Amino acid sequence: MFRTDQSCAVKLLVAIKSPPLLDSLLTVIGEIEGVKSMGYVSTAEDAIGLINMIRVDVMIVEVLLRDGSGLDVLTHAKEMKLESKVVMVTDAPFIEYKHKSMELGADYFFNLDRDFESFQKTLKMLSRICSCGQIGDKPNSTFNQL
């Protein structure tokens, strides 16, 4: 059974360059019980540095970051064979971002301009299935459809 004490909280890393998007995400994250933020960064280098130092259950990574690409963060996470679920997000209307994210192994992809409600539901679902770091035991999910 899922417990919401801090020892079993979903550990979350957010790599977002856009301050308005970050504000929206922080609001959503704050409404989900059992989520513990491990950090917010805006560059690929900072995100990669954090995932080298700490283990998280879920990474929310914007495709386009300051000074680098979220796709580089995704690639690094997959090369490290982390069990973290990687949720790629964008507010850009380019289908190529979804295709490249899928190719590199992202677990989820959302265009937040159109799919914010689905994104919220997915975060809530991930918070429920993660129990004391066992999120990697769940099968990979399909991509949110564009």
Q: Is the pLDDT of residue 142 over 70?
A: no
> Has residue 5 got a pLDDT over 80?
no
Which residues have CB under 8 Å from 53's CB, separation 6+? none
pLDDT number for residue 25: 87
Predicted model pTM: 0.82
CA dihedral 86, 118, 24, 54 (to 10 degrees): -20
Indicate the pLDDT class of residue 48, thresholds 50, 70 and 90. Answer: very high
Confidence check: pLDDT of 63 > 70: yes
Q: 75-103: per-residue pLDDT in tens? A: 999 999 988 899 999 988 889 999 999 99
Rounded distance between C-alpha atoms, residue 126 and residue 131, angstroms = 10
Give residue-wise pLDDT tens across range 21-47.
888 888 888 888 878 777 899 999 999
Q: What domains lie within the chain, and their CATH numbers? A: 6-137 (3.40.50.2300)
| CA of residue 3 relative to chain centroid, distance | 21
Closest CA to 12 of 137, 26, 46: 26
DSSP labels for the chain?
----SGGGSEEEEEE---HHHHHHHHHHHHTSTTEEEEEEESBHHHHHHHHHH---SEEEEESEEBTEEHHHHHHHHHHTT---EEEEEESS--HHHHHHHHHHT-SEEEEHHHHHHHHHHHHHHHHHH-STT-GGGSPPPPPPP-
